Amino acid sequence: MLDLGAGTGLLTRVLAAEGHRTRAVEPDAAMRARITATAPGAVALAGSAENIPLPDACLDAVLVSHAYHWFDPAPAHAEIARVLRPGGILATLWNLRDEEVPWSAALSGILADEDTGTDPRTPAAIMLHGALRALRTQDSEWLTGWLRDPAFGPEFGPVEQGFFPHSETKTIDSLVTLIKSRSYYLTSSPERRREIEERIRELATVHPELKSGNTFELPYVTVVFTTVRN
C-alpha cells in the first residue's frame, strides 16, 4: 500500500500497524523523518503525486488522506494509475466534523473564517454551505466542481462514496487545544484568536451536549471516495 501525500504519517502508522507492507510518499523532509521515527516497518520516500518514486504496477492500493486538493489532477491520476496494478484501489479520504450535530455546526459557525480556498476538494470546502450533507443525500444543487462529478481519469472506473461516522472524547480544554493547532487559528490576528477561544468556551454553557458532563464526544464523519484501476 501507498500513503500518498503522507504528511507526518498519521495514516501510514495505521496501515503499518495493521500489518500492511506500507510505503509513504511525502515531499517534505521533516515530515518524512517523522514517519520514519513513528511508523516502524513503513518506508518513507521523497516524491509527490505527480512523481511517485516506485516502479510500474507495484501496488495494490493508493490511499490519500487530506492531501488530494494539493494534487495537479491530470498528471497525478496518470502517475497513480502507473504504480497501481490492474484492479488496484485508489481511495481519497477526508475526516470532517459532523455538522449534523447542532453544537458541531455551531463550532463551525465560530470558525467561519477558516480558509476554504477555491478548490472544492479541500476539507473546509466540503463542510461549507452544507456540502457534506449534500454528498450524503446526493443533492447535486449544493455541489460544485469535482464534488458534483468526482472522477480520477480514464484509467479508473466509476467512483463510489462512503461515509463513516465516529467520534473523539474531548473536554472543553482539549477542544480549545485542538482548534489552536489549526492553521486558520495560527494565522489569525491576536484579537481573532481571543474571540475564537472565548466563543468556543461559551459553547459549553449553552449547548446541552456539552453541559451534561466534563467530557463530550466530538463528532466526525470520514468521507471516502474509491475507484478501481482498469
Say yes or no to pLDDT of 215 above 70. yes
Confidence class of residue 27 from pLDDT cuts 50, 70 and 90?
A: very high
**Contact (CB, 8 A) for 82 and 225:** no
Confidence class of residue 121 from pLDDT cuts 50, 70 and 90?
A: low
**Three-state SS at 97:** strand
Query: Of 198, 210, 207, 209, whose CA–CA distance to 110 is shortest?
Result: 198
Say yes or no to pLDDT of 176 above 70. yes
Residue type, 95: N
DSSP lists the bridge partners of residue 175 as: none
Please indicate whether residue 209 or residue 201 has the higher confidence score (pLDDT): 201
pLDDT of residue 118: 47
Q: Beta-strand (E) ranges in 26-105? A: 43-45, 59-65, 84-97
pLDDT of residue 189: 93
For 6-15, the pLDDT digits (tens) are: 999 999 999 9
pLDDT of residue 112: 72
Lookup result for grid cell 516497518 = 41
pLDDT of residue 44: 98
Angle of helix 102-110 relative to helix 190-206, nearest 10 degrees?
A: 160
Say yes or no to pLDDT of 42 above 50. yes
Q: Tell me the H-state helices in 24-72.
A: 29-38
Q: Beta-strand (E) ranges in the chain? A: 2-4, 23-25, 43-45, 59-65, 84-97, 160-170, 216-228
Element holding 160 (H helix, E strand)? strand 160-170
Indicate the pairing of strand 23-25 with strand 216-228: unpaired
Q: Which domains does the chain have, with CATH numbers?
A: 48-228 (3.40.50.150)
pLDDT of residue 116: 47
Q: Report residue 206 as a C-alpha cell.
A: 449553552
